[in-house]
Amino acid sequence: MAVYTEVSDEALRGYLGEYDLGELVAFRGIAEGVENSNFSLRTTTGDFVLTLYEKRVDPAELPWFLGLMDHLVQGGLACPAPVRARDGQALRALAGRPAAICSFLPGVWPRRVRPEHLAPLGEALARLHLAGADFPPTRANALGPAGWAPLLERCRADGDAVQPGLIGLLDGALAAILAAWPAGLPRGHIHADLFPDNVFFLGPAADPHVSGIIDFYFACTDLLAYDLAVCLNAWCFEPDYSFNVTRARAMLRAYAAVRPLGAAERDALPVLCQGAALRFLLTRLFDWVNTPPGAMVTRKDPLEYLRKLRFFLSADSAEAVGG
């Protein structure tokens, strides 16, 4: 479910009246996504995506997200381009919510990840990092290492109901990960949530290419290699939770061909992967224990990331995770 705020025809036409996008042709909600209300929008000038930003997004940060996306498009990355109204503003109010129109990107996200997806993914992520290098504003990673302990505390009372002993295990994992967390690695703007449903592909099955990267609303300024760790978590496990090192190597080789990885970044991959697994475990656990029955948010299983965390905690070298 990804339409939390309904938009009336009258309100939409009034909103579009501020833009030079022609007449409304079609408008429908998009079912995918969990954070915001998304709509497919067709006018006489083309196809677009309208997003209404819901309460989980801080309105004060929206200019940073939209500015980064605009900058990345100017740098040649295939990502949504914010559309500006006649007054030059990309962010306006609709149905009581901050809202923006962005360009539509062709392609489909992979419901089943195949080995052929990994090299294009790695290349696209490296190009994202390079394209963002000269965007001056920064945004702290609210879900980075400094945020994990407070998040765990908010799960402490009910976490063991999900699995007995879970909180104690996470306490130990968090302490070990923070003690080993690397300092001094290259930093920049990262996507921080590059799951398969945020990457569009086109082309033949044997040779797909990335046609678009979407959903930048967890983007932030952090370790560039941490973005790789997120992808290793999200793209490189089989349905039985076994780690596919062949996929990992393909992604990392393609990334390094565009933006070479330093030795320290490679060496840090296991702990960065541990941190990424812990981050997604904690946010899923928080939603699991704090989402009331009947809420429109679909809860995701936190134990999926417990299995991944256990694998990465056992990884004793960069080679074990594809480095």
Can you say how many angstroms the Cα of residue 108 is from the centroid of all Cα atoms in its chain? 16
Sequence ranges of the chain with CATH classification 3.30.200.20: 9-103
pLDDT of residue 81 exceeding 50, the answer is yes
> Which of the residue ranges 91-95, 249-253, 265-269 would you say has the lowest mean pLDDT?
91-95
Instruction: State which amino acid sits at residue 229.
Output: A
Distance CA 294, CA 297 (A): 9
Percent of the chain with pLDDT over 90: 86
Please give the pLDDT value at position 40.
93
pLDDT digits (tens, 9 = 90+) for 253-293: 999 999 999 999 999 999 999 999 999 999 999 989 876 65
Please give the pLDDT value at position 1.
38
pLDDT of residue 296 exceeding 60, the answer is no
Residue pair 284/301 in contact by the 8 Å Cβ criterion: yes
Residue pair 47/102 in contact by the 8 Å Cβ criterion: no
Distance CA 129, CA 139 (A): 15
- 6: confidence class by pLDDT, cuts 50, 70, 90: confident
Six token digits for residue 244: 């596919």
> Which of the residue ranges 30-39, 131-140, 176-185, 312-321 would you say has the lowest mean pLDDT?
30-39
Sequence ranges of the chain with CATH classification 3.90.1200.10: 115-321
3-class secondary structure, 83 = coil
Residue pair 83/45 in contact by the 8 Å Cβ criterion: no
Residue pair 277/290 in contact by the 8 Å Cβ criterion: no
DSSP 185-197: --EEEE-S---GG
Nearest to 99, CA basis, from 90, 87, 108:
90
Please give the pLDDT value at position 290.
79
Please give the pLDDT value at position 30.
82
Percent of the chain with pLDDT over 70: 94
Furthest-apart CA atoms within the chain: distance in Å: 60
pLDDT digits (tens, 9 = 90+) for 41-60: 999 999 999 999 987 778 89
* CB neighbour list of residue 162: distance below 8 Å, 6 or more residues apart: 285, 288, 289, 302, 303
Where residue 268 falls (left for φ over 0; alpha for ψ -120 to 50; beta otherwise) is alpha
Residue pair 193/230 in contact by the 8 Å Cβ criterion: yes
Q: Which helix (H) or strand (E) holds 43?
A: strand 37-43
Please name the residue ranges forming H helices in the chain: 9-16, 62-74, 118-131, 145-153, 159-162, 166-180, 224-235, 245-258, 263-267, 269-290, 303-314
Residue pair 196/234 in contact by the 8 Å Cβ criterion: yes
Residue pair 216/77 in contact by the 8 Å Cβ criterion: no
pLDDT digits (tens, 9 = 90+) for 194-232: 999 999 999 999 999 999 999 999 999 999 999 999 999
9-103: CATH, from 3.30.420.40, 3.90.226.10, 3.30.200.20, 3.90.1150.10: 3.30.200.20
**Dihedral in degrees, nearest 10, Cα atoms 116, 122, 123, 124:** 100
Class of residue 14 by CB neighbours under 10 A (exposed 0-12, middle 13-18, buried 19+): exposed
Question: What is the CATH T-level fold of the domain 115-321, as seen in this structure?
Answer: Aminoglycoside 3'-phosphotransferase; Chain: A, domain 2 (3.90.1200)
pLDDT of residue 86 exceeding 90, the answer is yes
Six token digits for residue 307: 């299995």
pTM flag (> 0.75): yes
Six token digits for residue 163: 């699995």
Distance CA 52, CA 6 (A): 10
Instruction: State which amino acid sits at residue 130.
Output: L
Residue pair 248/322 in contact by the 8 Å Cβ criterion: yes
pLDDT of residue 77 exceeding 70, the answer is yes
Length, in residues, of the chain: 323
